[in-house]
């Protein structure tokens, strides 16, 4: 793997298990991050102004660059948080061999998980709010046409299904990790 920079983007709908998968990679010692964290830091530090964000769920090259600057010293990266294949293409143009892992989960199960975990930004969400957020992320809501999570998932090289228990999803992760280590010659 010397001199080869690998980036695996984990795509999935809200509540599908992306963060869980990312945390397992981190727990196993791999470098992981979420794209939004670097934009949030840049906003907080005054390096970027919110007025320059064109629409939600769409990262401009300037915005994605904050993440790329953070990861540039790493030759193997697992990340989540992109909304469109053009954003993934930015990392390819920055020298990464990019790959996609899609996580699929039944809609009602995802919604139950989101409501149960109740992150700060999710506390007051109901079924219709969640469906609206999905439409925005999928680019089917007016004003959000550039977002396209569905195609990121659809065209992923690897698909994981997360419709069962955490224990079963963990088993899927372990198989995935073994496959990635072998297929991409990672030590």
Domains of the chain: 6-183 (3.40.50.300)
- Please tell me the chain's helix, strand, coil percentages from 3-state DSSP, rounded to the nearest 5: 50, 15, 35
pTM: 0.89
In the chain (187 residues long), the average pLDDT of successive 10-residue segments reads: 81 94 97 91 87 72 88 94 88 94 94 78 76 87 84 94 96 96 88
């Amino acid at each position: 793997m010397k001199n080869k920079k690998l980036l695996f983007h984990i795509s999935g709908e809200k509540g599908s298990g992306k963060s869980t998968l990312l945390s397992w990679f981190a727990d196993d010692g791999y470098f992981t991050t979420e794209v939004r964290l670097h934009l949030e830091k840049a906003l907080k530090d005054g390096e970027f102004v919110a007025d320059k964000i064109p629409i939600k769920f769409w990262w401009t090259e300037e915005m994605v660059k904050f993440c790329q600057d953070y990861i540039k010293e790493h030759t193997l990266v697992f990340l989540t948080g992109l909304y469109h294949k053009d954003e993934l293409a930015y990392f390819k143009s920055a020298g990464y061999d990019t790959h996609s892992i899609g996580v699929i989960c039944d809609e009602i199960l995802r919604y139950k998980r989101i409501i149960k975990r109740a992150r700060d930004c999710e506390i007051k969400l109901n079924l219709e709010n969640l469906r609206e957020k999905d439409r925005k992320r999928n680019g089917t809501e007016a004003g959000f046409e550039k977002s396209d999570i569905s195609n990121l998932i659809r065209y992923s090289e690897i698909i994981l299904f997360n419709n069962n228990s955490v224990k079963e999803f963990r088993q899927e992760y372990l198989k995935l990790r073994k496959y990635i280590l072998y297929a991409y010659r990672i030590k």
